[in-house]
Amino acid sequence: MAATADVAIVGFGIAGATLAHSLIEQRARVVVFDSPDRPAVSRSAGSIASVAGLRFGVIEQWQQWWNAALSVYTEFGVIEPIACYRLVYRADEQNFWERKRHALIAEGHARPAHLPQQLTEAIELPLETIEIVRAAKVHAASLLDRLAAQLDRDGRYVRRTLSACDVEPVGQGYRVAGVECKHVVFSEGAWMADSRWFGWIPRMFARGQRIMGVLDRTLTEQPVWLSVAGKSLVVVGDRFTFGSTYDWHSLEPIVTDEATAYLSEQLARILRCGYRVTDAWTGVRPIVADLRPVVGEHPHNRGMWIFNGLGSRGLLLAPRLAQLLARRIAGEPVSLGRWDVARFAELLHAKP
């Protein structure tokens, strides 16, 4: 294992991985610690789109988020375009579409569409079908595996769950599990709740569950993403995944029969063909109280940073935030804007 580094990163989900990648591009020496017992929720996240939510929201400065994501995921060969259709069944959603349609079509985000024939036979007829033009499938687990292998070859990837006593201030920097470094970044996802250093940041994490299974027929050879009332159904061949739930009360990443039954019932409203649920998967979204990512330097401890709060859009947000944070760590006067952890600084005094 490396004895020294410029930056130690604690947590190797999409936040830690994109940050490691940006820092390496800057020629910084990084060492990464990742827990073998805490599965990264990023491993099962799979899609990005420029339009999201019931209200057809387009994220501010979407082109910058999109370009940064495309650049990193293309470099690793982990992104592919996916046909994405919004199926509108409800009047309120149709109203939102009517209000936004002119702008969304003019800006090239969406267009009225028809479902491919083999899908119409198996899907309940919606009020409207809208194609979301900028949508992609991301194989985040492949990115994590490839970057981890690269770091591992140089003794810079350590499978270990760090505890508070593994991080001690020394001189101008930190000793992190024996590695001397100038900076330490915490990107622990939902395990931020246990953090000695950043546990004071207000959270509203949400557990999410997806189900997977088999259809009684082959619907499409290419993957298709159907977005229905805030849920997504991805079909390829005779396989599907469907989700996700939002459970704001339980933070344990445990599959529940209740969530499986709920999703199965929702799916039955969309599908006109038979299906069988074979598996389920769950994880906790790291969401901060104001629903914005949280990045930046600890208000009191110089050289100690956080990269978290990616919520339900981590794959889209992480690459650009990682670039900004890497530049900031390198000492550039880059603004972290509305995502800066400084917005919560006064809470640190309330909860020492």
Q: Which positions touch ligand FAD (CB under 6 A)?
A: 10-16, 33-35, 38, 40-42, 45-48, 161-162, 187-191, 208, 210, 243-244, 283, 285-286, 308, 310-316
> In the complex, what is the shortest distance from the CB of residue 92 to ligand FAD, in angstroms, rounded to a whole number?
24
Write a three-state SS string for 273-300: CCEEEEEEEEEEECCECCCCCEEEECCC
**Are 271 and 124 spatial neighbours (Cβ–Cβ below 8 Å)?**
yes
163-201 burial, b for 16+ CB within 10 Å, e for fewer?
eeebbeeeeebbbbbebbbbbbbbbbbbbbeebebbebb
CA distances from 210 to 114, 243, 317, 323 (A): 26, 4, 21, 30
> In the complex, what is the shortest distance from the CB of residue 121 to ligand FAD, in angstroms, rounded to a whole number?
27
Helix and strand numbers, DSSP H then E, in the chain: 8, 21
d(CA 138, CA 75): 12
287-297 burial, b for 16+ CB within 10 Å, e for fewer?
bbeeebbbbbb
Strands 30-34 and 4-10: parallel
> In the complex, what is the shortest distance from the CB of residue 309 to ligand FAD, in angstroms, rounded to a whole number?
8
In the bound state with ligand FAD, the residue whose beta carbon lies nearer, of 165 and 350, is: 165
On the CB side of 168, CA atoms within 13 Å amount to 7
Of residues 213, 334, 322, 330, the one with CA closest to residue 275: 213
> In the complex, what is the shortest distance from the CB of residue 289 to ligand FAD, in angstroms, rounded to a whole number?
16
In the bound state with ligand FAD, the residue whose beta carbon lies nearer, of 35 and 120, is: 35
Task: Report the alpha-carbon angle 301-184-1, nearest 5.
Answer: 145
In the bound state with ligand FAD, the residue whose beta carbon lies nearer, of 124 and 290, is: 290
> In the complex, what is the shortest distance from the CB of residue 307 to ligand FAD, in angstroms, rounded to a whole number?
7
How far from chain centre, in Å, is Cα 184? 21
In the bound state with ligand FAD, the residue whose beta carbon lies nearer, of 46 and 223, is: 46
In the bound state with ligand FAD, the residue whose beta carbon lies nearer, of 163 and 222, is: 163
**Are 198 and 308 spatial neighbours (Cβ–Cβ below 8 Å)?**
yes
> In the complex, what is the shortest distance from the CB of residue 83 to ligand FAD, in angstroms, rounded to a whole number?
16
Residue number, nearest CB to ligand FAD:
13
Number of residues that make up the chain: 352
> In the complex, what is the shortest distance from the CB of residue 169 to ligand FAD, in angstroms, rounded to a whole number?
18
> In the complex, what is the shortest distance from the CB of residue 11 to ligand FAD, in angstroms, rounded to a whole number?
3
**Are 141 and 104 spatial neighbours (Cβ–Cβ below 8 Å)?**
no
In the bound state with ligand FAD, the residue whose beta carbon lies nearer, of 129 and 308, is: 308
In the bound state with ligand FAD, the residue whose beta carbon lies nearer, of 119 and 287, is: 287
In the bound state with ligand FAD, the residue whose beta carbon lies nearer, of 114 and 288, is: 288
